[in-house]
């Protein structure tokens, strides 16, 4: 079945450091890929998405590229801020599905000033 594997946290960085959170997936066909972010005490918010191979999703300085050859969708940001501290979830929506998401376990990011 479809699945998502993302790097385990927590990840602690200093402000302005470079961020990478790895995400790989297993799926048949051509899924859509997503990154969601969850701030403390809140629900999940869509951060970015990509719906076909080689697409790059971007938002708020974050980027992720849909790599079919490596079945990956790694999240990157060049310079993190304290306000980026949150839990980040990689997710996929399988081809032929009704759009329901399969999530990774989440990676907690803490950014220190």
Partner 1 sequence: DAGVIQSPRHEVTEMGQEVTLRCKPISGHNSLFWYRQTMMRGLELLIYFNNNVPIDDSGMPEDRFSAKMPNASFSTLKIQPSEPRDSAVYFCASSRTGGVGNTIYFGEGSWLTVV
Residues that bind partner 1 (CB under 8 A): 31-32, 34, 36, 42-46, 49, 51, 89, 93-106
b/e sequence 61-94, b meaning 16+ C-beta within 10 Å: ebbbbbbeeebbbbbebeebeeebbbbbbbbbbb
Nearer to partner 1 by Cβ, of 70 and 100: the residue is 100
Sequence-distant (6+) residues with CB within 8 A of 63 are: 48, 56, 57, 75, 76, 77
Tokens of 5: 């594997």
Nearer to partner 1 by Cβ, of 15 and 95: the residue is 95
Sequence-distant (6+) residues with CB within 8 A of 40 are: 86
Provide, rounded to whole angstroms, the least separation between the CB of residue 90 and partner 1: 11
Provide, rounded to whole angstroms, the least separation between the CB of residue 46 and partner 1: 5
Provide, rounded to whole angstroms, the least separation between the CB of residue 18 and partner 1: 26
Nearer to partner 1 by Cβ, of 21 and 80: the residue is 21
Nearer to partner 1 by Cβ, of 60 and 112: the residue is 60
């Amino acid at each position: 079945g479809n699945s998502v594997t993302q790097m385990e946290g927590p990840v602690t960085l200093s402000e302005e450091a470079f961020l990478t959170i790895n995400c790989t997936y297993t799926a048949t066909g051509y899924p859509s890929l997503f990154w969601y972010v969850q701030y403390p005490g809140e629900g999940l918010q869509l951060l970015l998405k990509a719906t076909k191979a080689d697409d790059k999703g971007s938002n708020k300085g974050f980027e992720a590229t849909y790599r079919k050859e490596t079945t990956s969708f790694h999240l990157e940001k060049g310079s993190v801020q304290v306000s980026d501290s949150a839990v980040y979830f990689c997710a996929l929506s399988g081809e032929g599905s009704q759009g329901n998401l399969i999530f990774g376990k989440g990676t907690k990011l803490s950014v220190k000033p």
